[in-house]
Structure 1
Amino acid sequence: MTATLIDPGVEATRLAAVRRYQILDTPPESAFDRIVQLAARAFRVPMASVTIVDEDRIWFKARTGLLDGLTQVSRDAGLCASAITQSDPYVVADTLADPRTAGNPLVTGAPGIRFYAAAPISTTDGLHLGTVNVLDVRPREVTEEELRTLVDLAALVSGELELRLSARTAVERERRLREQAEAERGRLELLTSTLRRVLLPPSPPKVPGLDIATHYHVASADQVGGDFFDVFRVDENDWGFFLGDVCGKGADAAVVTALARHTLRAAAVYAGDPQDVLTNLNAVLMDEFLGADPCYCTVVYGVLTPGDDGVRVSLAGGGHPPALAVRADGTVDTVHTEGGMLVGLLPEARFSVASTFLRPGDGLLLYTDGLTEARTPAGHMYGEDRLISLAATLAGQPAQAVVSRLEETLSAFGPGLTDDTAILSMTVPPIVKRQSR
């Protein structure tokens, strides 16, 4: 039986929002699984869940401690179906003693819920898609601090859904532009210039204790390439960065590029481990292009943690050329992420991790294979060895000086540079010693 206090007009609008977010019946994801684990630990309860309330069912996006194989239940009153009618947390200290919940099948039958608390998952326009729930088989009370935690966890779910909607909207917008551009050459040129501005960040942010510069070489004036990069704040202490290369060119590559950038930034907020971030991106690409031609990419994603004596770097690689750690003394360490698989090609892809530490005068150089696969005027492939030799001569240089020298190298290739090339250079400024008077 469906029994709610929602006005029919409001309910129709709410259900339309549920459809708009396209979350129902999607596979499990680490971001939501992590939230229910946090909820269970914070409340010290055996069960927690993230649910979406559909027209006649309550669907579990994530759960812990509930019956194996439980993916949905009927929309009976008292628990989630009633919780979405409330703007504040919904708490039932003893379900058998409360007339709102005493007849709910999850109370009278398995798993025998005796305590229930929930906070609504709200959209930006105030509609409630579902709830974040904590449950116990014994009656109990909750504190105001615990309820605030529950509200915060529901806000995290809302933020994740908003980021995904934003990414999907951007992809759909870019697809519409692509379809229009295919009918007219002039529209294709407009799309190309527009997407380049949208897909690449205008300039790197100011990261404490780190000098950053970027470069993007366009191999074709009338095609959108698939190289992408970004540097952004993750939390108070950490900064995320990535550099990748989508297989192919044109508008199809741009669609994957947009989805990858949005997904990486969204996943970075909830999945602190770089390996988990790439796993999330792989799942999104596999889901988005299920049944279509494979749309995959190579990516390096990492986390920067500045400190008093330098910057700690943790990164994961998916089929991408290794990063180069250029030390202040002129040595170059290849930061290998060997074994990392292409992202978006296989559902169970594995990704490799590595770490390094940048001290004053050290730098980190990331690039796409358009640089190393370029042909020299003599017809030879430039290759990783030549790049390492050049990088060694740039030890201790500011990031922009490194990028400028690589730009000169690119220009010397002429027609031998046939692929787009992205470069991300990061340097820890050397310590300047004051001269004694």
Structure 2
Amino acid sequence: MSTSGARRPTSAGLGERLSGALNQVVPRSSRVLVLLVIATVAIGLAIWLFPDDAPLVMLLVPLVVSSLMLGPRQLPWFVVFVLLVLAIVVPTQTVITIRVALTVVIIFGLGFLFLLSSFRRSRLGVAGIQGEMMFVDLRDRILRQGGIPSLPPEWYAAGELRSAGGTPFAGDFIVASRVGERLEVAVVDVSGKGQGAGTRALLLSGAIGGLLSALPPSEFLGAANTFLLQQDWDEGFATAIHLSLDLTTGHYEIRTAGHPPAAVRHAGSGRWEVIESEGPLLGLIDGASYPAAVGVMRHGDALLLYTDGMVETRTRDIGSGIDKMLGQAERLLRGQFEGGAKRLIESIGSRNDDRALLLVHRR
């Protein structure tokens, strides 16, 4: 009798069945906990049976791994379990020396620190590595929002971000969107520094990105101001500059909210000009208005938008800083605008403050 029609279980199918059976017996979220418990018991038995060869410090291995892999609900109980195993195996030591006593004290001290960290993690509800992955994902989303959309061949635009201390999280960010034949860009500087400014920037960048592409240019900063007023933050203000550029005619509108002014380079004269526009900070005054400064970018012109970290330091005011930045721009960007934003942001600005820079050039 032919058996060619009979199906034989493949290794892949068998693996899927075993994985499904394992998930029914032990949920995937608890699998790491089970493995750590087995490893701890094995280490405890080794110390019990071979007290002279198996050191107590081996119990640090599951303790450290648990702090990275377990969630806030599982971690406290596992730490207590490891310390209980330690208390059981300590009397098996042939001689309680000072080294053994110090090892016990250190393990108990680390266990106490891990317990405190688990209580702090309970506010977030995820394990250490998972929490880091969440923040990395949020950071990547900010960087993607700052990416410049595809533009017609005659246009070039690039943005650069640098944070104080060199970390990827910063209080400055760029959000760009293309709506039809218009390029909408906002360069924002959130108040404060460090972790506080970074977390507020994470939230604000999402709101700014949605408002930027959903509202007419004249209403954008007003809506962003209303959003910040509703947050009721202790440091609930930000500065921003908004560029709305017509990619067909080169006509632009620039509105600022307590932000350093933009600068335009006229190809005809070869000189940089500061574009004066005024508006109150975001998040301070309800119903604030933001008048526009208008102009036209012709072929060869360039436009710079930036945050105060590019032009202001403890020993230099914004006015002098703008003059210095434009002098550097004239030297570094002459005849070669591609890659100019990176060259400029690396050559000037305060290393103790977040910096953001946007360069737009019409070829």
Q: Give the TM-score, by structure 1 length.
A: 0.49
CA contact (8 A) 2:345 2:357 kept: no
CA contact (8 A) 1:243 1:367 kept: yes
- Matching residue's letter, 1:330: G
Q: How many equivalent residue pairs?
A: 239
* Unpaired segments ≥5 residues, structure 2: 1-119
Q: Which residue pairs with 1:79 in the alignment?
A: none
- Over the aligned positions, Cα root-mean-square deviation in angstroms equals 3.2
% of aligned pairs identical? 27
Q: Which residue pairs with 2:252 in the alignment?
A: 313
- Matching residue's letter, 2:174: F
SS in 2 for 1:351: coil
Return the offset for 1:299: 0.6
* Unpaired segments ≥5 residues, structure 1: 1-175, 430-437
Q: Which residue pairs with 1:417 in the alignment?
A: 351
Aligned to 1:266, which of 206, 210, 217? 210
Residues 420 and 219 (structure 1), Cα distance of their counterparts in 2 relative to 1, 3 Å cut: same
Paired with 2:345 and 2:209, the residues of 1 have a C-alpha distance of 28
Paired with 1:210 and 1:225, the residues of 2 have a C-alpha distance of 28
Aligned to 1:245, which of 182, 185, 189? 189
More strand by share: 1
Paired with 1:281 and 1:402, the residues of 2 have a C-alpha distance of 30
Return the offset for 1:265: 3.1
**CA deviation vs aligned residue, 1:219-264 (integer Å, no higher than 9, x gap):** 1245832101122112x22121110100013444234323433333
- Matching residue's letter, 2:225: N
CA contact (8 A) 1:361 1:396 kept: no
CA contact (8 A) 1:180 1:187 kept: no
**CA deviation vs aligned residue, 1:294-321 (integer Å, no higher than 9, x gap):** 41110111211012xx511112110010
SS in 1 for 2:356: strand
Aligned to 1:301, which of 229, 242, 248? 242
Residues 258 and 192 (structure 1), Cα distance of their counterparts in 2 relative to 1, 3 Å cut: closer
Residues 380 and 315 (structure 1), Cα distance of their counterparts in 2 relative to 1, 3 Å cut: closer
Residues 269 and 295 (structure 1), Cα distance of their counterparts in 2 relative to 1, 3 Å cut: same
**CA deviation vs aligned residue, 1:197-221 (integer Å, no higher than 9, x gap):** 2212263222123101111112124
- Matching residue's letter, 1:305: D
Q: Which residue pairs with 2:295 in the alignment?
A: 356
Pick 1 or 2: higher relative contact order, CA cutoff 8 A, min separation 6: 2
* Aligned pairs for 1:254-403 within 5 A: 254-274=198-218, 276-289=219-232, 292-307=233-248, 311-328=250-267, 329-338=269-278, 340-374=279-313, 383-394=321-332, 397-403=335-341
CA contact (8 A) 2:265 2:303 kept: yes
Residues 380 and 233 (structure 1), Cα distance of their counterparts in 2 relative to 1, 3 Å cut: closer
- Matching residue's letter, 2:276: H
Which of 1 and 2 has greater Rg? Answer: 2
More helix by share: 2
**CA deviation vs aligned residue, 1:401-423 (integer Å, no higher than 9, x gap):** 3213313414xx7xx52001111
SS in 2 for 1:392: helix
